[in-house]
């Protein structure tokens, strides 16, 4: 693992690291914020999964999460959203290929050789983090934005017992019923829609739910709200009687101004459960 940078940040350290990924068969980069408490022993970990077109850097520099994480003594990890490199397949559209891994393990050509983002986030990166840094891997939570909100919800429900809490900003909540999902799921996983179901938060909620608290925020002025389908997830939550707070925020759009506006709420939400 190579250190790209390490900067003092709210009493802790914001680092950026690159490593050779056996899962994605390329070099992968992630950001990791360690609060000051990590000098004295392992600290809880909050994952932040970013959305379409993003890298590890977007939330790291725009979301303002480190200030609140430092107050709570929580680490933050910011993985990349897809494999990278000249040998990695890409598409001219912004919502497929590099920057658009959708947190699935691709089975279709030309994506299958590198696009294994589910295994990367679920298995490889957690193992690396636990072995290398002062992190309490028994206390994890997860959040994300847009495509990353989709990833956070599906990983939380798909890995029972892994995360104590889950939240999402404007998640793609029902991709199997949206043009923002059907395109990517068919490209990565093929035309058999039974393979899509484990990557749809609404279907997972109907089938399994989540053994813990959920928080989501979506702006009523979000330019993509019809593709996000927050109402589908809300209906599934109501049917399951799942413990959840699903908020619509008047006038907010899909941008990082929206994410930053409610980041404190989300970090505090997770801290309540990580520190319990």
Active site members: 146, 222, 254
Distance CA 27, CA 271 (A): 31
Distance CA 157, CA 52 (A): 21
Distance CA 87, CA 85 (A): 5
**Neighbouring residues of 226: CB distance < 8 A, sequence distance ≥ 6:** 178
Strand, helix or coil at 119?
helix
33 cis-preceded (ω within 30 degrees of 0) = no
Q: Is 59 left (phi over 0), alpha (psi -120 to 50) or beta?
A: alpha
Distance CA 60, CA 43 (A): 19
Q: Is 169 left (phi over 0), alpha (psi -120 to 50) or beta?
A: beta
Q: How many residues in total does the chain contain? A: 276
């Amino acid at each position: 693992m190579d250190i790209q940078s390490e900067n003092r940040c709210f009493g802790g350290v914001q680092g950026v690291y690159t490593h050779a990924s056996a899962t994605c068969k390329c070099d992968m980069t992630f950001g990791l914020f360690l609060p000051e408490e990590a000098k004295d022993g392992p600290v809880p970990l909050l994952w932040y999964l970013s959305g379409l077109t993003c890298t590890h850097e977007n939330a790291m520099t725009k979301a303002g999460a480190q200030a609140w994480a430092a107050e709570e003594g929580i680490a933050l990890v910011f993985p990349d959203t897809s494999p990278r490199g000249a040998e990695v397949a890409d598409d001219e559209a912004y919502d497929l290929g590099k920057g658009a891994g959708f947190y699935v393990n691709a089975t279709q050509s030309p994506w299958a050789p590198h696009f294994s983002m589910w295994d990367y986030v679920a298995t490889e990166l957690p193992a690396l983090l636990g072995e290398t840094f002062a992190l309490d891997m028994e206390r994890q939570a997860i959040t994300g934005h847009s495509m990353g909100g989709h990833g956070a919800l599906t990983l939380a429900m798909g890995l029972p017992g892994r995360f104590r809490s889950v939240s999402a900003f404007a998640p793609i909540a029902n991709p199997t019923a949206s043009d923002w999902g059907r395109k990517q799921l068919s490209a990565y996983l093929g035309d058999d829609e039974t393979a899509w179901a484990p990557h749809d938060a609404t279907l997972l909620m109907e089938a399994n739910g989540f053994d813990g608290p959920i928080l989501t925020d979506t702006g009523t002025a979000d330019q993509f709200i019809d593709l996000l389908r927050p109402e589908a997830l809300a209906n599934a939550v109501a049917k399951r009687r799942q413990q959840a707070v699903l908020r619509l925020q008047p006038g907010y759009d899909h941008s990082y101004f929206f994410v930053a506006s409610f980041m404190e709420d989300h970090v505090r939400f997770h801290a309540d459960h990580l520190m319990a």
